[in-house]
Chains A and B, each alone.
Chain A
Amino acid sequence: MSHSYTLKVNGQSHTVQVDDPKMPLLYALRNDLHLRGPHFGCGLGQCGACTVHVDGHPVRSCSVSVAKVAGQSITTLEGLGSPEHLHPIQQAFIDEQAAQCGYCINGMIMQTKALLDKNKHPSEQDIRQALALNLCRCGTHVRIIRAVQRAAAALV
């Protein structure tokens, strides 16, 4: 039996049909809404590659069901800004050239957004702690830290 849910993503409402209400949000975003920002990294809540915001809070979309977040306001990396209208955090990541393969960068930016929403003047330690549960295998960490510092400076 198929279930119908309304997902509010990046300011737009979408109706998705799913076979299983327990299906994680990530699959609806990627396969039904064709969004490329959130990535599948582990499906276990361990890496952060799938991070989106739900009602302004960072959430691992691999570990929350479609049913749970239906009706709530979901923001993905695409909703933050586009190449033509970059969000200052995205601009900072470009300015610092803070990506190698870039697979983790969705999570890094979404987690940074959550940090800077709460803490306008994060210290380097604050940044390291805020991103402690976001994994990057390429070793882009030092650039990501610089990008977050640059974004923080740009946003005040």
Chain B
Amino acid sequence: MTHEVLNRRVFLKTAGSLMVTFALLPDRVSVAADTPAASKSVATDAVEGFIQIHPDNSVTIYSGKVDLGTGVRTAITQIAAEELDIPLAQVTIVQGDTLTTPDQGLTWGSLSIQVGGMQIRQACATARAALISRAASKFSAPAQAIKTHEGRCWHEGASTSYAELIEAEGLVLKVDPKAPTKAPADYQVVGKSVARLDIPAKVTGQFEYMHDFRLPGMVHARVVRPTGVHAELLSVDDQAARKVPGFVATVREGNFLAVVARTEWGAIQASAAIKPVWSAWQGLPEQNRLWDYVRNTAISKSEDLQNAGDPATVLQQSAKKLRATYDFAIHTHGSLGPSCAVAEWKDGMVTCWTASQQVHLLRKQMAQMMKVPESQVRCIYIAGSGCYGRNGHEDAAADAVLIAKVVNQPVRVQWMRADEHGWDPKGPPFLLDFRGALDDQGHIAAWESQAYIPKRPAQASVTLLAADLALMPHEVAHPGNVHQGLAIPYQVPNLKTTAHYLSHTPFRASWIRAPGRMQNTFGSESFMDELAHAASADPMEFRLRHLIDPRGRECLERVAQLAHWQPRTGKAADSGDVVRGRGVSYIKYELVRTYVAVVADVEVNRRTGKIRVTHFYIAHDCGQIINPDGLKNQLEGNIIQTVSRTLLEEIKFNRSQVTTLDWVSYPILTFPEVPQVTMDLIDRPTEKPWGAGEPAASVVPSAIANGVYDALGVRLRSVPFTPHKVLEAMRTRT
């Protein structure tokens, strides 16, 4: 699939072909603009970009990173309250509003605390230092004699509130990267399992999700997608749709089609009644030849991520060598709530309420698509259903902006289940080749890996579906940093890990939890196991044999302890239908941060081929822990979701489109199959806090594969591990 930025001439031409049919429009109710002080700084190097102290001494934190259901809102509130020395209850957070929050980059890569939280910590530390120095002059005392506590600066029993200290001159200062942060030993709030701020509202039906957001006079839209990924819209018959009570409009722009009605149910009925004729596009590869297709796709660039010694020669000369190929299926994000957005145009300016993980980037993409300056686009985050990466939220937002422009009313777009499963951008297919050689002492003498993955354009953004369908300007889709995780953390003298960036991938690609890290680690950590068995070594000890990093070693040793790991070198005893095994996996995320080691306990039914993952043990070191229970929640979630992806998930398609459009055809893990999760959190309060979440997900598929090998003596090299594949592997005894 190729995406190109269309030139202006093409855009104008297609814009001219715009077709809109209107029924009688209800009177437009105008919406009061919710515009905060336009003067608020959004600079990432300005304290006031992040912090506002109000006259009542409460504090608002402006965060560009958003809480996608991960608990980041609570954790960032803790960080700010701690660093400012102000009670937690006095801190509120505004998340992801292009008008008021600094652009802290996308909420991705498990970087919200590591990067976003640390920017806010530094801004708060700068503010605190400034408040102390102002209090010092007020009390005519040295700064060292001023203490901060509960939102006040204290000197010998006298105190003044932060609000009083900023009354005269505000808090206009640059973030000082050297401003001293609090000593971890003094922490009161950070490091505690503060209860999530959002949960009470979520368990009582009070929480406002994106899906709940309403504007006066708002109409409802449903999108009508093509029957083929790149099918062209040849004609539309909307006679029946127009008869639906409350019908407002059919919106057609290029291959973009939507219906609008006064009520949501009206829009759903109209979308079922409309009769579009699409061209017969059949450009997808045959699914059962997907891996040939990937292997034969032109490589646009290759990149060595590690290159040491001379693996080719060693591999050629070595007596003990292995090779293996792994593949990993195409996945959907599968958010439980299909994507939803609301948009309104007013005086040439558009406001879009969205559950996007990337409001600043979205604003840029929308401005490009609609040919308006960025300053005329405002995107406001409202939490949606969990998205685990770049799902359909941004696309629904673009749908809403486009439709609202045409019908000139506030519009709510709600994707249906089939829209989400069919049209969210997908986790692309991964194909991985490995070769390895062992020396006489059972050490890895050479390692070579090659990943066949989608190319990464310069700009990390995913094409807005509406822009693509409507033939409006857009950029080339980016799959995420899918090369990450291919480089290995082990000591190997002859080592080469290579990413081959392919010119095409069958579906619009994007990042889904641990993009690349998960798939590449599936290959690397499975192959590590294959080498361990070839060396007749215990897979836990074999990893330690090649690992010098003390934090990594500690992680593996602690998971071995947690799981009561016993050395395993042979196959498990053969008896009965159900056999049990356990597998280990390890990662140092991107080789620069969070360490994770896991052990998976699995059961395999040899008759049916069905795998059950019964227990996951995890040792986790992400440095300083902000909120231990929040961290546990994330780790459990990442592990369980990835067990689902590993055992069950695969997008199916015909030559035209995705065919797994619901939860029956694309099943996910359910309660009866969910494993127990036991963890050992390694807290290092004096270290930097690193990301958590994705690193735990990335080791799951390989740990399960290794457990299955331990149980059954067969190697699963293709995700998902369906019963069919298990039986097939047993039959061919790979």
Residue of B nearest to A24 (CB): B265
Q: Which residues of B contact A36 (CB under 8 A)?
A: 205-209, 212
- Across the interface, A103 reaches (CB within 8 A) one of B208, B245, B386, B630, namely B386
Binary contact readout B244-258 vs A (1 if CB under 8 angstroms, 0 otherwise): 111000000000000
A155 at the interface (CB under 8 A from B): no
Q: Which residues of A contact B388 (CB under 8 A)?
A: 137
Q: Which residues of B contact A12 (CB under 8 A)?
A: none
Smallest CB separation, B62 vs chain A (Å): 22
CB <8 Å contact, A145 and B671: yes
| Residues of A61-95 contacting chain B, CB below 8 A | 76-78, 80-83, 86, 90, 93-94
Binary contact readout B375-401 vs A (1 if CB under 8 angstroms, 0 otherwise): 000000001111010000000000000
Smallest CB separation, B504 vs chain A (Å): 29
Contact A39:B209 (CB < 8 A) given known A27-B265, A46-B664, A141-B671: yes
- Across the interface, A78 reaches (CB within 8 A) one of B205, B416, B640, namely B205
| Residues of A83-127 contacting chain B, CB below 8 A | 83, 86, 90, 93-94, 97-106, 109, 127
- Give Cα A96–Cα B266 distance, bound, in whole angstroms: 40
CB <8 Å contact, A42 and B335: no
Contact A128:B203 (CB < 8 A) given known A42-B417, A47-B663, A137-B668: no
Binary contact readout A3-38 vs B (1 if CB under 8 angstroms, 0 otherwise): 000000000000000111001100100110011111
Smallest CB separation, B572 vs chain A (Å): 26
Contact A135:B672 (CB < 8 A) given known A20-B265, A27-B265, A39-B211: no
CB <8 Å contact, A42 and B663: yes
- Across the interface, B671 reaches (CB within 8 A) one of A37, A80, A102, A134, namely A134
- Give Cα A23–Cα B264 distance, bound, in whole angstroms: 10
B644 at the interface (CB under 8 A from A): yes
Smallest CB separation, A76 vs chain B (Å): 7
CB <8 Å contact, A137 and B334: yes
Interface-central residue, A19, A82, A142, by most chain B CB under 10 Å = A142
B677 at the interface (CB under 8 A from A): yes
CB <8 Å contact, B195 and A49: no
Q: Which residues of A contact B263 (CB under 8 A)?
A: 19, 27, 31
| Residues of B700-729 contacting chain A, CB below 8 A | none
Q: Which residues of B contact A83 (CB under 8 A)?
A: 200-201, 204, 206
Contact A103:B641 (CB < 8 A) given known A41-B417, A93-B203, A97-B633: no
Contact A140:B633 (CB < 8 A) given known A46-B662, A93-B199, A102-B69: yes
Contact A44:B662 (CB < 8 A) given known A99-B202, A128-B671, A139-B640: yes
Q: Which residues of A contact B198 (CB under 8 A)?
A: 99, 102
Interface-central residue, A38, A132, A136, A145, by most chain B CB under 10 Å = A136
A153 at the interface (CB under 8 A from B): no
Residue of A nearest to B266 (CB): A19
Smallest CB separation, B65 vs chain A (Å): 16
CB <8 Å contact, B195 and A94: yes
- Give Cα A23–Cα B633 distance, bound, in whole angstroms: 37
- Give Cα A83–Cα B201 distance, bound, in whole angstroms: 7
Q: Which residues of A contact B637 (CB under 8 A)?
A: 100, 138-140
CB <8 Å contact, B202 and A19: no
Q: Which residues of A contact B662 (CB under 8 A)?
A: 42, 44, 46
CB <8 Å contact, A137 and B202: no
Smallest CB separation, B223 vs chain A (Å): 15
Contact A141:B640 (CB < 8 A) given known A24-B265, A86-B204, A135-B663: yes
| Residues of B320-376 contacting chain A, CB below 8 A | 334-338
- Give Cα A105–Cα B203 distance, bound, in whole angstroms: 6
Query: A-B pairs with CB below 8 Å: how many?
Result: 193
Binary contact readout B651-676 vs A (1 if CB under 8 angstroms, 0 otherwise): 00000000000111000111110101
CB <8 Å contact, B674 and A128: yes
Smallest CB separation, B645 vs chain A (Å): 10
Residue of A nearest to B265 (CB): A23
Q: Which residues of A contact B202 (CB under 8 A)?
A: 99, 102, 105
Smallest CB separation, B240 vs chain A (Å): 14
- Give Cα A102–Cα B664 distance, bound, in whole angstroms: 22
Smallest CB separation, B634 vs chain A (Å): 8
- Give Cα A109–Cα B202 distance, bound, in whole angstroms: 11
Smallest CB separation, A78 vs chain B (Å): 4
B269 at the interface (CB under 8 A from A): yes
- Give Cα A102–Cα B195 distance, bound, in whole angstroms: 14
A143 at the interface (CB under 8 A from B): yes
Q: Which residues of A contact B383 (CB under 8 A)?
A: 101
- Give Cα A18–Cα B430 distance, bound, in whole angstroms: 49
Interface-central residue, B199, B211, B214, by most chain A CB under 10 Å = B199
- Across the interface, B639 reaches (CB within 8 A) one of A23, A44, A139, namely A139
Contact A101:B386 (CB < 8 A) given known A77-B205, A131-B671: yes
Q: Which residues of B contact A104 (CB under 8 A)?
A: 336
B636 at the interface (CB under 8 A from A): yes
Q: Which residues of A contact B670 (CB under 8 A)?
A: 131-133, 135
- Give Cα A80–Cα B203 distance, bound, in whole angstroms: 10
Smallest CB separation, B96 vs chain A (Å): 15
Residue of A nearest to B643 (CB): A139
- Give Cα A109–Cα B338 distance, bound, in whole angstroms: 21
CB <8 Å contact, B417 and A19: no
CB <8 Å contact, A141 and B674: yes
- Across the interface, B246 reaches (CB within 8 A) one of A19, A42, A82, A93, namely A19
B414 at the interface (CB under 8 A from A): yes
- Give Cα A19–Cα B205 distance, bound, in whole angstroms: 27
- Give Cα A82–Cα B204 distance, bound, in whole angstroms: 6
- Across the interface, A77 reaches (CB within 8 A) one of B204, B416, B634, B672, namely B204
B174 at the interface (CB under 8 A from A): no
CB <8 Å contact, A103 and B337: yes
- Give Cα A140–Cα B266 distance, bound, in whole angstroms: 34
CB <8 Å contact, B671 and A127: yes
B594 at the interface (CB under 8 A from A): no
Residue of A nearest to B201 (CB): A83
Q: Which residues of B contact A24 (CB under 8 A)?
A: 265
Contact A137:B265 (CB < 8 A) given known A40-B337, A43-B417, A49-B336: no
- Give Cα A139–Cα B69 distance, bound, in whole angstroms: 11
- Across the interface, B199 reaches (CB within 8 A) one of A49, A77, A97, namely A97
B450 at the interface (CB under 8 A from A): no
CB <8 Å contact, A138 and B386: yes
Smallest CB separation, A2 vs chain B (Å): 8
CB <8 Å contact, A101 and B672: no
| Residues of B483-512 contacting chain A, CB below 8 A | none
CB <8 Å contact, A99 and B636: no
Interface-central residue, B209, B214, B245, B633, by most chain A CB under 10 Å = B633
Q: Which residues of A contact B334 (CB under 8 A)?
A: 137
| Residues of B231-273 contacting chain A, CB below 8 A | 244-246, 263-266, 269
Interface-central residue, B202, B207, B636, by most chain A CB under 10 Å = B202
Known: A102-B69, A105-B203, A135-B670; 18 extra A-B contacts, CB below 8 A, are A19-B246, A38-B205, A39-B211, A44-B662, A46-B662, A77-B205, A99-B69, A99-B198, A100-B634, A101-B336, A101-B385, A101-B386, A109-B203, A128-B674, A132-B670, A135-B336, A140-B633, A141-B671
| In the A-B complex, the 8 residue pairs with the closest CB atoms | A101-B69, A37-B205, A139-B640, A101-B386, A102-B202, A19-B245, A139-B637, A77-B205
- List 9 A-B pairs, Cβ < 8 Å: A20-B265, A37-B204, A40-B337, A46-B664, A86-B200, A102-B69, A103-B337, A129-B671, A138-B386
Chain B positions near chain A (C-beta within 8 angstroms): 68-71, 195-196, 198-209, 211-212, 214, 244-246, 263-266, 269, 334-338, 383-386, 388, 414, 416-417, 629-630, 633-634, 636-641, 644, 662-664, 668-672, 674, 676-677
Chain A positions near chain B (C-beta within 8 angstroms): 1-2, 18-20, 23-24, 27, 30-31, 34-44, 46-47, 49, 76-78, 80-83, 86, 90, 93-94, 97-106, 109, 127-129, 131-145
